[in-house]
Amino acid sequence: MEIRYRIPRPLPLAVAFLVEGFTALLGPSGAGKTTLLKALAGLLPAEGTPYAGLPPERRPIGYLPQNAALFPHLTAWQNVAFALPHLKGADRERAARTWLQRFGLAHRAEHRPRELSGGEARRVALARALARNPELLLLDEPTAGLDRPNRDQVLRAILYAVEEHGVRALVATHDPELAQAADRLAVLDAGRLLQAGPVDAVYRRPATLRVARLLGFENLIPGRVAGYRPPHVEVATEAGVLRVPGDPLPRGTRVVLAVRPEEVLIVREDRPLKPLDAGNTIAGRIHRLRRMGPVVEAEFEGPLRLILRLPRHVQDRLELRPGEPRRVVLKPRYLQLFSEDEEASFSSD
């Protein structure tokens, strides 16, 4: 389904992209995500396809605002039944309870919204939206403010809706992890679409530095083009010359290399590196270690300062300690090359 929308207020916005399966709409606060969802729901005036001109009541959509907006005076099943006005009496209740059951909430049917957890409330709201049999679900930050188990449950509920009921879901989020679970990705910033496409393609090749930042490339290394050795561009940085895949660029061009914290690797000195990777190593010290659930975050200090994130089982094997000298490797295939200009892209593919 192609979405092509132009919105004058409250935030001028113009976008065109495909929504298939689970499509994440990624962007920082204020990018216009909520504005776009509301416009698609018919709650804000907009021009475009699909649905423009139809009132919200007649659009085949299911809309979930950030707080789920369950009716506080109705129980969970009554909330779902609100979406089933064409059914009467016992049939209506049965259908509503069936929907709750599909989302694993049968035991919460008699509870009012204030008695539900944040994750449960959003799943009830999802069941309610789906009960109308929409062709497009519009979910605004469905995992914001949820703890891990609740968040995973909501994510599973979204995937269930998409996979079992064949509905398309456009999910606004600024959570890169949720975005990675999607089929497609649309990156929005300041009312403009920066990039859209299958999630793997966008993650593998962010179009601009701005997109890379939004996708969680936290390590940004400035440098200048020093040469070209096919198929790699050689970039002079404070940590020496690093090689990165790309098309030839004029010598001296200012560029930025980007790498995700998960893809900065500690060199295991007992194992030989491939020659290509060996050229991209940097010596320094582990500066600080922080446990974040199943992940350990490390700060590396050498000629460059880098953030590393490694699974705990890797840390258990490596036994990194603060202050310890170590080498890290920036493997070329995990490096991304960007113009220094946030908005500009090198046409490399």
Partner 1 sequence: MSEVLLRSLALAATSAGLLLLLGPVIAYLNRRPYPGRSLIEALLLTPLALPPTVLGFYLLLLFAPDGPLARIGAPSLAFTFPGMVVGAALFSLPFAYTAYREAFRALDEDLLETARTLGAGRLRRAREVVFPLVWPGLVSGTLLAFAHALGEFGVVLMVGGNIPGKTQVASTYIYDLVEGLEFAAAHRASLVMLALAFALVYLTRQLEERWRSATGSRGRSRSR
- Residue listed under structure tokens 């990777």: 277
Q: Which one of the spans 18-26, 36-44, 285-293, 308-316 is the region binding partner 1 (CB under 8 A)?
A: 36-44
Residue with smaller CB distance to partner 1, 79 or 195? 79
Q: Does 113 bind partner 1 (CB under 8 A)?
A: yes
Q: Which one of the spans 33-41, 45-53, 93-101, 250-258 is the region binding partner 1 (CB under 8 A)?
A: 33-41
The count of chain residues that interact with partner 1, using the rule CB under 8 A, is: 33
Phi/psi for 113 (5° steps) reads -50, -35
Tokens of 32: 């216009």
**Residue of 34, 75, 195, 280 interacting with partner 1 (CB under 8 A):** 34
**Residue of 42, 206, 246, 332 interacting with partner 1 (CB under 8 A):** 42
Residue with smaller CB distance to partner 1, 38 or 184? 38
Are the C-beta atoms of residues 206 and 56 closer than 8 Å to each other?
no
> What contacts 205, CB < 8 A, 6 or more positions away?
336, 348, 349
Q: Is the peptide bond before 55 cis (omega within 30 degrees of 0)?
A: no
Phi/psi for 261 (5° steps) reads -55, -30
Q: Which of residues 77-106 bind partner 1 (CB under 8 A)?
A: 82-83, 85
Q: Does 294 bind partner 1 (CB under 8 A)?
A: no
- Residue listed under structure tokens 């004058």: 8
Q: Does 10 bind partner 1 (CB under 8 A)?
A: yes
Grouping H, G, I as helix, E, B as strand and the rest as coil, residue 302 is coil
Q: Does 114 bind partner 1 (CB under 8 A)?
A: yes
Q: Is the peptide bond before 50 cis (omega within 30 degrees of 0)?
A: yes
- Shortest reach from residue 167's CB to partner 1, in Å: 14
Residue with smaller CB distance to partner 1, 82 or 334? 82
Residue with smaller CB distance to partner 1, 115 or 340? 115
Residue with smaller CB distance to partner 1, 34 or 219? 34
Q: Per-residue b/e over 77-90, b at no fewer than 16 CB within 10 Å?
A: bbbbbbbbeeeeee
State the Cα–Cα distance between residues 297 and 312, nearest whole angstrom.
9
> What contacts 62, CB < 8 A, 6 or more positions away?
126, 128, 129, 130, 132, 134, 136, 137, 138, 167
Residue with smaller CB distance to partner 1, 192 or 224? 192
> Taking Cα atoms as reference points, which of 4, 69, 59 lies closest to residue 36?
4
Q: Does 112 bind partner 1 (CB under 8 A)?
A: yes
Residue with smaller CB distance to partner 1, 42 or 223? 42
Which residues, listed in sequence order, are joined to residue 2 by a DSSP beta bridge?
18
Residue with smaller CB distance to partner 1, 59 or 151? 59
Q: Which of residues 50-79 bind partner 1 (CB under 8 A)?
A: 55-59, 61-67, 69, 71-73
Are the C-beta atoms of residues 100 and 131 closer than 8 Å to each other?
no
- Shortest reach from residue 192's CB to partner 1, in Å: 17
Q: Which one of the spans 108-116, 201-209, 294-302, 340-348 is the region binding partner 1 (CB under 8 A)?
A: 108-116
User: Does an H or E element contain 14, and which?
Assistant: strand 13-18
Q: Which of residues 115-174 bind partner 1 (CB under 8 A)?
A: 128-129, 132, 140
Residue with smaller CB distance to partner 1, 59 or 102? 59
One-letter amino acid for residue 219 of the chain: N
Give the residues lining the site for partner 1 (CB under 8 A): 10, 34-35, 38, 41-43, 55-59, 61-67, 69, 71-73, 82-83, 85, 112-114, 128-129, 132, 140
